Amino acid sequence: MPSFPRRAARAASLVLAVCLAPPQLAAQPTVPGGGMKLDAAVADSFARAARAKPRPTVNIIKVDGDAPEIDGKLTEGVWQRGAAVTEFVQRELNEGVPASERTEVRFASDGKNLYIGARLYDREPSLIIPGEKIRDVTLANSDYVAFIFDTYHDHQNGFVFGTTPAGIEYDGQVIREGEGGGANVPGQNRMQGGAMGGFNVNWDASWTVATSIDSLGWTAEFRIPFSTIRYQSANGEQTWGLNVSRMIRRKNEELYWAFIPRQFNLYRLSLAGNLAQLQPPVRRIQTVTPYVLTSSQQRWTGNLQSTTTPTEVGGEIKYGVTPALTLDLTVNTDFAQVEVDDQRVNLTRFPIFFPEKRPFFLENAGVFSAGTPQAVDLFFTRRIGISDNGTPQPILGGGRLSGRVGSTTVGLLQMVTDSPEQGSPGQSFSVARAVREVGARSRFGLMAVQRLSTEDAGDVNRTLAVDGRLGVGQKWTSDLWAAKTTTPGRTGDDFAYSGRVAFATNVFNANARVAQIGEDFNPEVGFMSRPAGYRSFDATAMYLVRKPEWGWFRQWNPHVSYRGFYDIEDGFRQTGYWHIDVTEIEFANSSRFGPEWNISQEGLRVPFEISPGVVLQPGQYQWGTLGFDYTTDPSENITATGRFDFGQFWTGTRNGGSGTLTVRRGATFSGSLTVDHNDVRLPEGNFTRTLQAVRLNYFFTPRIFVQTLTQYNNQQKIWSANVRFGWLNTAGTGLFVVLNDGREATGFFDWVRPQQRSLFVKFTRQFGTGG
């Protein structure tokens, strides 16, 4: 081993050599596996140098004459002049190390649109991974370039736009730097999209992108109308926060223009650079999006069959009160084109969380987020127009006013639903929200939620809440919320609160939370993962070990966590859960595996029927389980991911798990098979839980596709199929043909009797400026 002075000298000389080298020579050597071998001291020197650099700034280029043609070729003169974003460094695999391939990005404007021209050099263009041709596909599975714009320059909220070599449209909204602060619930995926998390990938805007691959690499050309995003309405020049990210997938090399340490990601707007000399127009978005829908729907009740063929019209109006504040109105709201939910196996006593997917509820959804995502959500839009069993209910209409007033983010929502079934009244839902950002990473907010029967003013439920976040430097984050509900007939403890503290560096992160939910706390327009009346504690600690001198290795993540729920009155333990994983390893190509040991504790005050005829008696239970999860390289044409559990379960044993095998052919086809199987053997009775799902996708272009999802769940004895054809125009509008078929079944190919079948044909079109 060389002495420390020798290693430091070597590191300094290498840093100097890279800094002075021409751009073409600044690339680092790579090994066949895509990893980069570096001495640990050299890698540390690069990281420290990157952290010490000031936040970069680039000026926008004024378009003189004709606007660029969006063809992905970058032949216009505007892309040959002006300052370009060029100096990229790695977040992965080796923090702070210069990029192995050169990147040039320019930003331009003609006063109506924001244009982006990106030249992404690659010395081996035949190895570029294009990814699937579908909007909002997971970017990390392919090469990509992405941008985040902090249009209010508040260092917390922004808009993301990105694409892959396949030319797809990827966009989303960021709130609170993408930090949802949610709970980790066993068996429930952490949600990014929708109203619950800090990043809403389901938000769709109107914009255009084109890409091409050539002998130098690949290029991307964007046109983003200013009317499609929100920003301050002041006249004159503005400066927005900006960061640019690029992925070279075969090397698993994630690059940033404004350096981002590996404990954070693109959403870390407090570390973004600046896009200066912008002069966005003081204009207001004005769009009308009507739809017409025709359908044929069949239902079977016993031996009786009923058929209806309704035709509906409706739509939405979007009006910019200011460039930062938008009014959305909807009438006869319909979501026939929305993808169906993935079915899930549930071996717990508690409800399963399903994310929001309906377009109207997704724009500015993060504004209305408060509480602890997936544990206690104080407002959950799926309570509007969807029954507890997932059946759609008619939405007569409503409106939403959301955006910024000065430095305060505001949101007002009013929706009215019709009677979901005979004998049940319609409902009026009202929400008011205000959030004020303080400094770079802190905020506080207020929210009020009301559900009111349209037929009985005494049938009402209300929630009042206050919440906040305090960010201290880049390492410390704390969250706090407190809420009260009012419900006729409930006079007990209707208060709830939660406090969380998190600490994160590039080698260690930890968080701890305490919450208490009063026994009469009842947010009827929210989501609670378990009945009220408990106090909970949870904590997690993770250590991240890197070996930059190992080209095949990404990191080792030993970690441990605990989560406990206790009755408030007598401390009776409802649930305790220890997760101990000291073997999880991630490889340079993003594959990973990790055996783990889990200790589960459950307390029953009343009998629990875990399966028909299988009843567990009151008492305290504890068991241990050996778990194993794995993921192969997600960029390969054949990939697999899965999880298996073996060991004790309540009074007996459970063996099984879930796995998904995915096959891709280029950018046009992908198919996957998911099997979730659990063999449960208890003294009280044996049973199996099985879920099978087959998903097939064919993408003619990024805007024309066919998708199918066929599922069988033996817990509900339901077989279902969903086929969606889409020919998109802009912002998720276009022609949709959707076929749904549901049957009672005893196996994937064992159908007993039909339950429902429907065919929807829907056409929607957007008119006006922006989207």
Q: Per-residue pLDDT tens for 13-43?
A: 433 333 333 333 333 333 333 455 667 777 7
Residue 684 confidence (pLDDT) above 80: yes
How confident is the model at residue 234, as a pLDDT?
A: 67
Q: Which has the minimum average pLDDT: 187-196, 470-479, 663-672, 703-712?
A: 187-196
Over residues 499-514, the mean pLDDT reads 93
Rounded distance, CA 561 to CA 558, Å? 11
How confident is the model at residue 30, as a pLDDT?
A: 37
Residue 193 confidence (pLDDT) above 90: no
Over residues 758-763, the mean pLDDT reads 94
Reported pTM: 0.84
Q: What is the pLDDT of residues 715-742, one digit of tens each?
A: 989 999 999 999 988 877 899 999 999 9
Residue 185 confidence (pLDDT) above 60: no
> How many other C-beta atoms are found inside a 10 Å radius of the C-beta of residue 217?
20
For residues 248 and 134, is the Cβ–Cβ distance under 8 A? Answer: no
Output the average pLDDT for the chain. Answer: 87
Q: What is the pLDDT of residues 159-171, one digit of tens each?
A: 999 999 999 999 9
> How many other C-beta atoms are found inside a 10 Å radius of the C-beta of residue 555?
19
Question: Which token pair is 700?
Answer: 């003619």
Percent of the chain with pLDDT over 70: 91
Reduced to 3 states (helix: H, G, I; strand: E, B; else coil), residue 674 is strand
Question: Which token pair is 245?
Answer: 């990210």
pLDDT band for position 304 (50/70/90)? confident
How confident is the model at residue 389, as a pLDDT?
A: 62
| Residue (of 317, 108, 75, 64) closest to 226 by Cα position | 108
| Residue (of 479, 450, 484, 485) closest to 467 by Cα position | 479
For residues 389 and 422, is the Cβ–Cβ distance under 8 A? Answer: no
How confident is the model at residue 249, as a pLDDT?
A: 92
pLDDT band for position 197 (50/70/90)? low
**Helix H or strand E encompassing 19:** helix 4-20
Question: Which token pair is 127?
Answer: 């190895």
Rounded distance, CA 267 to CA 253, Å? 18
Reduced to 3 states (helix: H, G, I; strand: E, B; else coil), residue 132 is coil
| Radius of gyration of the chain measured on its C-alpha atoms | 27
How confident is the model at residue 189, as a pLDDT?
A: 33
Over residues 500-511, the mean pLDDT reads 93
Q: What is the pLDDT of residues 221-245, one digit of tens each?
A: 999 998 888 888 767 789 999 999 9
| Residue (of 665, 664, 658) closest to 641 by Cα position | 658
pLDDT band for position 184 (50/70/90)? very low
Distances from the Cα of 242 to the Cαs of 85, 160, 406, 545, in angstroms? 11, 10, 21, 30
**Helix H or strand E encompassing 564:** strand 559-567
> How many other C-beta atoms are found inside a 10 Å radius of the C-beta of residue 213?
18
Q: What is the pLDDT of residues 523-578, one digit of tens each?
A: 999 999 999 999 999 999 999 998 888 888 889 999 999 999 999 999 999 999 99
Residue holding tokens 């339950």? 755
Beta strands 61-62 and 103-109 are parallel
Q: What is the pLDDT of residues 267-288, one digit of tens each?
A: 999 999 999 999 888 877 788 9
Percent of the chain with pLDDT over 90: 59
| Residue (of 471, 479, 399, 488) closest to 445 by Cα position | 479
| Residue (of 46, 53, 155, 142) closest to 90 by Cα position | 46
User: Helix-strand-coil percent breakdown of the chain, rounded to 5?
Assistant: 10, 55, 40
Residues 6+ apart with CB under 8 A from 141: 129, 131, 132, 249, 634, 635
> How many other C-beta atoms are found inside a 10 Å radius of the C-beta of residue 500?
19
Beta partners for residue 619, in sequence order: 604
For residues 506 and 261, is the Cβ–Cβ distance under 8 A? Answer: yes
